[in-house]
Every structure is written in structure tokens, then in C-alpha cells.
Amino acid sequence: MGFEVRAINLLIDSTVFLIFVFASAFILRDFVEIEDFRVLMILIYYLYYFISETITGQTVGKMFTKTKVVGLTTNEKPKVLNILLRTALRLVPLEFISFLFYQNGFHDRFSKTKLVYK
């Protein structure tokens, strides 16, 4: 999958994530301290990718670019544990640098998944 498609996915998914964050901040502003909200932001980020990719194999960005996550060797819907690992690896600092060296990022390589056109 080309860098451009992944960049578009990231841009769209980051926008969706920020909408969730701002909506959560507005709703919870009187109930959650800023330190706790940082944890909530990470949880929202993690759940956005995990739930979307577990249920449909796609996030909003992937729907837009008509791509989806599949198992590396099966080309079918990945197992939940693969998606869990894929999502967890997104939280690794500087994970995006892996695209400088490999077509698939660390989160794809180590979770045995790949991105394909739907």
C-alpha cells in the first residue's frame, strides 16, 4: 500500500480522533481533571482503532480510501488478537518512522496484518 494512501488514512482518522477528543472534553469538562483526561485520550485513540478494525476491518479513513485490514497470509478478516497487537503497536513512539524502511509499518509487520484495497 502506498505512502499516500496511508497518509490520507492517518489524516482522516486523526481528524475523527480529534472530534472524539473535543466532544469528550466538552462533555466531561466538569468531571475529569486534565491529568485523567490524558489517559482518556489514549483510551479513545486505542478504542477507535481497535473497535473499527475489529468489527469492519476499516476506520473512517480506510472507508474513504476503500482499503481494509486483512491477515497477512489469509487475506481475510484478522483475528481479534492480531488487531489488538496492531492497535497496541500504534502507541509505540515514532512508529511512523518504520515506513521509511518498510512498505508496511511495525504495527502491520508484527501483528501479521496488511492493508489492501477493498
pLDDT along the chain (118 residues), means of 10: 88 96 90 86 93 98 98 96 94 72 80 94
The range of the structural domain enclosing residue 64 comes to: 3-117
At residue 87, the pLDDT reads: 94
Into how many domains does the chain fold? 1
pTM of the entire structure? 0.87
At residue 33, the pLDDT reads: 86
At residue 99, the pLDDT reads: 66
At residue 61, the pLDDT reads: 98
Triad 113, 92, 62: Cα angle to 5°: 45
